Every structure is written in structure tokens, then in C-alpha cells.
Structure 1
Amino acid sequence: MSDETLDGELTNLDKAAILLISLGESDAAEILKHLGPKQVQSIGQAMAALDNIPQSKVESVVTDFLGLLGDQTGIGINNDAYIRAMLNEALGEEKAKTLLDRILISKNTSGLDTLRWMEPRQIAEIIHYEHPQIQAVIISYLEPDVAAAVLSFFDEKVRLDIVMRVASLDSIQPVALQELNDILERQLTGGGGTNTVSNLGGVESAASIMNFIDSNIEAEVMDGIKEADEIMANKISDMMFVFENLIDVEDRGIQAILREVSTDVLVLALKGADTALQEKIFRNMSKRAAELLRDDLEAKGPVRVSEVEEAQRDVLSTARRLADEGEILLGGGGDEMI
């Protein structure tokens, strides 16, 4: 699927990529340091995909940006993922290293925020010997997909304990969070910070993390939670959004998702979907595109369940991002991931 609108105009992501390239490396780094890894990854991929953009479009993008800027002077977006591999691919290893160094050195990153730029295995190693309550707070602070990946490095008993603690969290005193942040900063950066986010954890946070956990681990953890606290398990289950829940997304939302999901990923994801959901997808495509997708599905041979689940997680990740950006609405559901 294309990341462009139906009339071929540039998307906001394309415009951001063009603007940053136009600014040059130094100024681009100054802007990128205010973004989280997911934003940097998305923009980097858009930069890599740009090809032979006419000067008139570049000028139009800059003009539009100046018009929208108005009196605003701050840029501050806080979403997360991993960027090093993307920058290497998009800009080449040498340029990527220079840009990344500028971002990370100039960014006044607190201890907790530093974890967000690390690989899940590294995070798991850092918090492995911490008290379970501290582990739960840190897990709550991470993006759900990263938190799920970190949990995969713990054994069953520890995973269950952490998820239950996350679900039980309501808030944490800013002073306590600051102390944790300071400890992490001394371990990771040697600096000082002022981060005082206090609303962490809760059932919704636990459900978001569970959405990204592999299906076999998910069943194991949910069974353990149900055995220990059935009410909590039901609350988590009710707030989870799984692939089958896409059937409840309005048509306009489905169309928005399809514009950002590749055909290869969609074919794999639909291999594990029921007929009703497949038909909903077909209805929200052009007749020609639907026919091609049907042909691809029929021609696709047997695939591993793990491949289908990974593709479905990719689609769900896109759906959640669009929901977070206010582009679509998602409902909850208690179905299990297939």
C-alpha cells in the first residue's frame, strides 16, 4: 500500500522528510533531538523513499510549514522505538552515526528516557536484579511493544509478577519516580534530570503490553493472572485490542490502515483471519486491488503461525499508532490473539 494520499499529494510525513532534508544535517539534527525514536524512524524511512522531488514541491512544503508555524516555537513529541538500523539504511553508516551522535549528545536525556532508546535485551539486563516493583514501574514507562519484548527475556514466574504489578499500579509519587530516574541516570549517563511523570501503570497499561506479547506467552501470562485474580484478568482482557477487533473499526479507519500497510504484510495477516474480516478488508479497497489481494491470498501457500502473528502485530501496531494520532477510533475486545 502507498503512504501517499489517493490523489498523489505528499503526506505530512513526506513533507516533514522534505523539510528536514532541505534544512541540512546540522539543523535537522537540532529538530530531531526533540523527537522520540518512532518519529525519527518514520521520518528516516520517508527520507529514504523520496525520489526526484520537483523544486516546486519543495518550495511549497517550506511555504506551507512557515504558514502553519505561526507563533509556535516549541516542538515536543514523545513516542518511541529504535532508530540506529533505520538511519544506517536511510543515510548510510557514516552520516547516520554523525546524525545519531548529535541527537543523543545534545538531547538532555533523563535516565528513564535513556532506556527508551535501548534494545529490549539491554533493558532486561539492566533491570534484571531490581525489585519487582521497580521493574513494573520501568516496564510501565516503556512503549507497550518494547515492554512486551523486554518481558520475553524473563521467565514465566517473573513475567506474571511484573504484569500483575503493572496492572495494579495507579500512580507513583513524583519524588519516588525522580529517585528512580536519578539512580538510572547515574548508571547510564552520569547526569541529572528532572523527569516527574507520575501517571504510570494500571490495567490499560497492562493490556497494551499484552497486545504485543507473543501469543503463547500471552496465554501463559493471562492464565496465571486469572488464577491469581480473575477480576483483574477480565479487566485486562476487556481492554485488549486484537486483530479480530478490526471488524469493529469503521470503514474510513480501515482505509487509513490499508494505506500504511504493505501488501505482503496484509496477505500474511489475512491468512489467519476469518471470512468476515477478510470481506471487510476487500470492501474497503478498489475493485482491482481487492481482486489482486484475493489472488495473492489464494496463491499463498502454507505459512508458519508465527509469521501470521507477526504480520497481524504489524497491522495492529499501525492501527494503534493511527488511533494515538487521532486518525481512527479503535474499540476494545477480549478475544485471544490467534
Structure 2
Amino acid sequence: MNMVTAMGEPPELKRYSGAQRAAALMLVLGREHGASVWEHLSTEEVKDLSSAMSHLGRVPASVAEHLLVSFSGEMASMNALHGSFESTERLLDGILPGDRVREIMEDIRGPAGRTMWDKLSNVNEALLAGYLKNEYPQTVAVVLSKLKPDHAARVLGQLPKEVSVDVVQRMLRMETVQKEVLTQVEQTLRSEFMSNLSRSQRRDPHEAMAEVFNAMDRQTEEAMLGALDESIPESAERIRALMFTFEDLGSLVPSAVSTIVRQADKRQMALALKGAPGSMRQLFMSTMTERSAKLMREDMAAMGPVRARDCEEAQNALVRLAKTLADNGEILLVDPKSDDTMIV
């Protein structure tokens, strides 16, 4: 799909990869003129091109004109094109069969996975259970029978007890599921659950950036936020509000801290606590046995002087562990800047 650049190209064109140039060209061609091109592409090529198109965003008219010189008169009157999930789906709809369009859009929107059951295995168990609890128990049994055992177990744990017991009994009695039934369940999941999930999972870019800032060392983090304070202060404030720091672990209840302590690398935790305020050390050690706390103090003393950066990296590792535990449902983290208490 790479397009050969020509002399006199607009400077903006350099920002676009070959796939992005092809995607912009197909947007210009539209449904009528692009149909014959789409029909000759393989499924993988359609997915690649559709993915590039859906993430394209604004395309300057000068770039569009360069990519389609033969339509220069028409393009001269345009300010920009805009590629999005919606415009991509509208373009594909009518050119390709409906089920193929849905499959392609699911793949480029996520969750990741090649089949419907792969995708469901990447869906949070609480979200999936929230949907399944309103379905017929037999349907739930079919869905869970297709999931990986560990994921199915977590979903069962999120269902109301009377529902989960009924589902388990049906799974025990279940024989081979007819292909027609499985197809119908897949279609229902695709149209009612996955499409809604894809729309709801579009993230605020500030959330993604807050995660990036969480992974930075503090000197870089402070420098970057300081620069944002001067250029886009509202974004800097939003990012700060979304960031979860090592100090925020001090707001966790002891049982949540205990879960972190049990699963953390002990040397890494000793390094993190060595550079922590006394109150944080006390909180973590209060969840340990007397012997474990003593060994932790001895490990910290035996380290001698350590670099501040090493302590910060160890503290960031504990923050990442806390987020992983929260994603797995083992602890619950609320917005650290809110007035709510963090609970297990």
C-alpha cells in the first residue's frame, strides 16, 4: 500500500506513512469510486487499511490534492478530510458484506483477539458478568464453556449466587453445542455487547498520558508537567488529577496494603521503603508479621546508601503492582484525588 512520492509534494505529506497515505486516498475516492479497489484487497489488507483510516484524523487539503491529482479541482474546494471509526464504517458499509464490515471494525476497535472468544477473554470479568447476568442461564453456560477456565471462574464469581449455581449445573449437563446455537450466541454478543463495549472503551487521552507520566522518573515528570503548566495548564491539571503515585498508596486500607506486600518482590519493596517517608514505612510494616518486618528493616539497613533514582524506580514498580492487582479485582483503587476512601 506504499505510495510513491513525487516532486513538489506538500511538506505535511512527510508526516504520513505509506498506509496512512493509502487510507487518505481511499477516503477521497469514497464508496462509489473506491468500491472496485476494496473488492480486490484481501481481508488482512482491508483490516490494515481500515485501521490506518480510523486513526487518520484530520488530513490537510494539500495532502489530499497531492494524493489525487486527477481530482485536484474538486479537492481545491475542500479544507480537510476526517478519518474516524464512524467514517470508516460508513465507507465500508455497502462496499463489503455486513458481517465482514463488523468483523473488520471489531478487530481495529478491540478488545484484542482474532475470534469472538479471544476477545471475550480480554474483557474484564465484572463487565462481562454485568452483561451475562441478564441473559438466559443456558446462554451464559454456552459462553463460559468457550472461555478459558481461569477467566470463566472469575466471571462466575461476579455473578449472583443463584445464577452462578444454575449456570454451573447447566455446564455439567451440557453436551456438544450445536453450530447454529453457537453462531447465534456469537452474533448476539457481537451486536449487543462488543459493539457497545468498543464505544464505551474510548479513552480520554489524558488517562493514557497520566499512565505515561506515572512511569517517568520524578525529575522528568516534574519538568514535563511544568512545561505543560505554561502551555496548556488545563491539561496539566487533568493529568495530575488522574495520576496515581507512590504517596497515594498511603491512602489504602491495611488489607489492600497487605495484598501488595504479599505479592511484591521483597528486595524491591525494601528499596522502595528505604526512600519513603516514615509514615509509609510504618503502614507497610504494620501489615507484616513481626519477624517479616524485622527482616525488612535488616535488609534496608544492609543496603547502605542508595541512589534516589533507584528508590523511585522501586516505588513506581509497587504502583504498577497495585494497578495490576486492581485490574485483577484483588484490590480497588478509586481516584486518589477524590474524597473517597480506597477500599478492598
Structure 2 length-normalised TM: 0.42
Which structure ranks higher in relative contact order (CA pairs < 8 Å, sequence separation ≥ 6)?
1
Given the two structures, how large is their TM-score scaled by the length of structure 1?
0.42
